[in-house]
Amino acid sequence: MKTIIIGGGPAGMIAAISAADSGSDVILFEKNEKLGKKLFITGKGRCNVTNNCEKDKFFDNIMGNSKFLYSAFAKFDNHALMELIESLGTPLKVERGERVFPVSDHSSDIIRALTKGLKDRAVEVRLNDSVKEILTEDNIAKGVLTDKGEKYTADKVIVCTGGVSYKSTGSTGDGYIWGSKTGHRITTPKPSLVPLVTHDKWVYDLQGLSLKNVKLSLYIDGKVKYSDMGEMLFTHFGLSGPLVLTASAYLASAKDYKEAYVIIDNKPALSFEEFDKRLIRELTAGNNKEIKNILGEIYPSKMAKIICGLAGIDQYKKCNEIKKEERNALVEITKKMKIMVNRTRDFDEAIITHGGISLKDVNPKTMESKLIKGLYFAGEVLDLDALTGGFNLQIAFSTGYLAGCNEGGGYYEY
Phi first, then psi: what are they for 244, rounded to 5°?
-70, -40
Q: How far apart are CA 121 and CA 128, in angstroms?
A: 21
Q: How far apart are CA 374 and CA 290, in angstroms?
A: 73
What's the pTM value of the predicted model, to 2 decimals? 0.93
**pLDDT number for residue 409:** 55
Q: How far apart are CA 196 and CA 80, in angstroms?
A: 35
User: Mean of the pLDDT values across residues 101-121?
Assistant: 98
- CA-to-CA dists, residue 3 to 14, 38, 143, 409, angstroms: 13, 23, 9, 18
Is 178 in contact with 357 (CB distance < 8 Å)?
Answer: no
Judged by DSSP in three states, 179 sits in: helix
Mean pLDDT (the chain) is: 95
Radius of gyration, alpha carbons of the chain: 25
Model pLDDT for residues 122-152, shown as the tens digit of each residue: 999 999 999 999 999 999 999 999 999 999 9
Q: How confident is the model at residue 408 (pLDDT cuts 50, 70, 90)?
A: low
**Amino acid of residue 190:** K
Kindly give, in sequence order, each residue whose CB lies less than 8 Å from that of residue 360, ignoring residues fewer than 6 positions away. 185, 370
Judged by DSSP in three states, 322 sits in: coil
Model pLDDT for residues 262-291, shown as the tens digit of each residue: 999 999 999 999 999 999 999 999 999 999
Model pLDDT for residues 307-354, shown as the tens digit of each residue: 999 999 999 999 999 999 999 999 999 999 999 999 999 999 999 999
User: Mean of the pLDDT values across residues 193-201?
Assistant: 96
Kindly give, in sequence order, each residue whose CB lies less than 8 Å from that of residue 401, ignoring residues fewer than 6 positions away. 14, 15, 17, 18, 72, 75, 76
Position 410 pLDDT exceeds 70: no
